[in-house]
């Protein structure tokens, strides 16, 4: 069966056809200021003035939850960048509820938004919600998480999620020697398409090292059942995620890690290599492994460069995090909104299939952060202030 979700990197030729002669300047934004610059186009300025006159909101942003620092960072970046760019805007949170998400979108529709930027709580449940927005003439941009099973998604702004997972897998592989190392696998929420991409990316790096005996999977019979298969189907990944999901929830992650270590024999612990899907769950799982006397050492992945996890990395309690610069993602989304409000077609550089259509996408790269480059990647880049941390340098 054809893979439901497949990443199609658009070849140069197709990209040229898609964006025509449009300048690539708005697609190569790496700093918030670039989006502000993009907003100065005459067309966008005209749109701004028109909306300001009738008091409506131009750009609505809906984010999944306030309970993970990651999304608060996105909120701050959106409000700053959109306001600087002269756009009326409103950011709303769904608090892990697809119903709240739907109500938020309905509220924004009544406020007259022209562009909806949405990071869905649940990839398939959000389809009906964005269909309502589309019916109201709104352009829909999926932010970070792709909404599946609908043609009501116009664009997708994302980090390179396969690479996020691949970097996690690579970190574990690069730091493993010998054979028989204990591998513990954890994943994000099954309702989040990204959880599939992260796992797929990690699996394709880890699997050859499972096959050659470097790693032995200790906590997932479902993963063991397919350990000779490099390219898993979406259904196979779904089955594994069903067993190792954290739901993106720190307490679920903690309970699952505790249950795994309780079930494991002492010999199945030792030097442990842990695939943790994001920073919050990584801290929870790391604490559980650190407390187990049969765990001799552990290495653990993460993503998002949350402040608490960066401190864990500095302290040697989390091995790495994949830094996803929310300034870039938010500015890419704003640059897209600016193009749309100005009547232009936004530039894209990839396409993601959501099960129904290929969604034109703008993809951003990620940076692996370990103890060695916290300073250059996160402090020198201006993302965080050094005073947020102790023991730096």
Is residue 346 a contact residue for ligand GAL (CB under 6 A)? no
Separation CA 245–CA 235 (nearest Å): 15
**Which of 313, 332, 330 lies closest to 322 in space, CA to CA?**
313
Stretch that binds ligand GAL, among 109-117, 168-176, 188-196, 381-389 (CB under 6 A): 188-196
**Does residue 214 belong to the site contacting ligand GAL (CB under 6 A)?**
no
Instruction: Pick the piece of the chain touching ligand GAL (CB under 6 A) from 28-36, 187-195, 309-317, 360-368.
Output: 187-195
Q: Which of 93, 156, 248, 352 binds ligand GAL (CB under 6 A)?
A: 248
Q: How far is the CB of 100 from ligand GAL (least distance, A)?
A: 16
Exposed / middle / buried, residue 384 (Cβ in 10 Å: 0-12, 13-18, 19+)? middle
Which residue's C-beta sits nearest to ligand GAL?
194
Q: Is 292 exposed, middle or buried (0-12, 13-18, 19+ CB in 10 A)?
A: middle
The reply to whether 27 sits near ligand GAL by the rule CB under 6 A is no
Distance CA 242, CA 257 (A): 15
If the CB atoms of residues 60 and 188 are measured against ligand GAL, the closer one turns out to be 188
Question: Using CB under 6 A, which of 77, 102, 114, 145 touches ligand GAL?
Answer: 145
What is the smallest separation between the CB atom of 309 and ligand GAL, expressed in angstroms?
11
Give 144 or 167: the residue with its C-beta nearer to ligand GAL: 144
Report 313-332 residues binding ligand GAL (CB under 6 A): 324
Beta-sheet pairing, 350-353 with 358-364 = antiparallel
**Closest CB 104 distance from ligand GAL, rounded Å:** 17
Nearer to ligand GAL, 44 or 275 (CB): 275
Q: Is 154 in the site for ligand GAL (CB under 6 A)?
A: no
Rounded alpha-carbon distances, angstroms, from residue 154 to 103, 179, 327, 340, 352: 21, 47, 22, 11, 11
* In the complex, least distance from residue 22 CB atom to ligand GAL, rounded to whole angstroms: 28
Interface with ligand GAL (CB under 6 A), residue total 12
Among positions 61-80, residues that touch ligand GAL (CB under 6 A) are 68, 70
> What phi and psi, each to the nearest 5 degrees, are found at residue 92?
-125, 155
d(CA 73, CA 36): 18
Comparing CB distances to ligand GAL, the nearer of 188 and 355 is: 188
Judged by CB, which is closer to ligand GAL: 19, or 192? 192
User: 283 or 324: whose CB is closer to ligand GAL?
Assistant: 324
Q: How far apart are CA 180 and CA 177, in angstroms?
A: 9
Cα–Cα distance measured from residue 262 to residue 169, given in angstroms and rounded to the nearest whole number = 25
Does position 278 bind ligand GAL by CB under 6 A? yes
DSSP notation for 278-311: SHHHHHHHHHHHHT-TTEEEEEE--BS--HHHHH
With contact defined as beta carbons under 8 Å apart, do 159 and 145 qualify?
no
Structure tokens given for 252: 């679920």
The nearer residue to ligand GAL, 280 or 346, going by C-beta atoms, is 280
Q: Which residues is 273 bridged to in the sheet?
A: 183, 299
Adjacent-strand bridge partners of 185: 275
Residue 38 or 336: the one with the smaller Cβ distance to ligand GAL is: 336
Binds ligand GAL (CB under 6 A): choice among 60, 188, 355, 360: 188
Contact 366, 322 (CB under 8 A): yes
Residue 38 or 189: which CB sits closer to ligand GAL? 189
Coil, strand or helix: which one is 332? helix
Q: Minimum CB separation from ligand GAL for residue 97, in Å?
A: 14
**Complex with ligand GAL: residue 34 or 192, whichever CB lies closer:** 192
Longest dimension (CA), the chain: 70
Give the footprint of ligand GAL on this chain (CB under 6 A): 68, 70, 144-145, 188, 192, 194, 248, 278, 303-304, 324
């Amino acid at each position: 069966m054809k893979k439901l979700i497949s990443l199609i990197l658009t070849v140069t030729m197709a990209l040229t056809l898609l964006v025509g002669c449009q300048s690539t300047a708005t697609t190569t934004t790496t700093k918030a200021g670039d989006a502000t610059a993009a907003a100065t186009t005459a067309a966008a300025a005209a749109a701004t003035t028109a909306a300001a006159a009738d008091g409506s909101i131009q750009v609505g942003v809906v984010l999944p939850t306030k309970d993970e620092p990651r999304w608060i960072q996105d909120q701050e970046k959106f409000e700053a960048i959109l306001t600087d760019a002269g756009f009326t805007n409103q950011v709303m949170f769904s608090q892990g509820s697809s119903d709240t998400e739907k109500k938020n979108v309905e509220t924004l529709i009544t406020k007259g938004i022209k562009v909806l930027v949405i990071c869905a709580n649940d990839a398939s449940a959000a389809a009906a919600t964005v269909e309502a927005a589309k019916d109201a003439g709104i352009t829909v941009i999926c932010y970070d998480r792709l909404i599946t099973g609908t043609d009501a998604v116009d664009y997708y702004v994302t980090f390179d999620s396969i690479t996020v997972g691949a970097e996690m897998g690579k970190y574990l592989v690069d730091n493993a020697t010998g054979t028989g190392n204990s591998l513990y696998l954890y994943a994000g929420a099954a309702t989040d398409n990204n959880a599939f991409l992260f796992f797929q990316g990690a699996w394709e790096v880890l699997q050859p090292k499972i096959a050659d005996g470097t790693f032995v999977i200790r906590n997932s019979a479902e993963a063991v059942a397919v350990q000779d298969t490099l390219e898993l189907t979406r259904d196979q990944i779904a089955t594994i995620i069903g067993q190792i999901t954290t739901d993106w929830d720190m307490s679920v992650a903690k309970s699952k890690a505790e249950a795994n270590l309780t079930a494991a024999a002492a010999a199945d612990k030792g030097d442990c290599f842990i695939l943790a899907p994001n920073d919050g769950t990584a801290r929870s799982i790391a604490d559980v492994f650190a407390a187990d006397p049969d765990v001799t050492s552990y290495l653990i992945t993460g993503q998002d460069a949350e402040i608490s996890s960066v401190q864990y990395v500095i302290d040697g309690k989390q091995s790495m995090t994949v830094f996803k610069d929310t300034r870039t993602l938010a500015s890419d989304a704003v640059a897209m909104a600016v193009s749309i409000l100005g009547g232009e077609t936004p530039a894209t550089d990839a396409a993601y299939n959501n099960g129904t259509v290929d969604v034109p996408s703008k993809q951003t790269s990620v940076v692996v952060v370990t103890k060695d480059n916290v300073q250059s990647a996160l402090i020198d880049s201006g993302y965080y202030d050094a005073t947020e941390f102790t023991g730096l340098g």
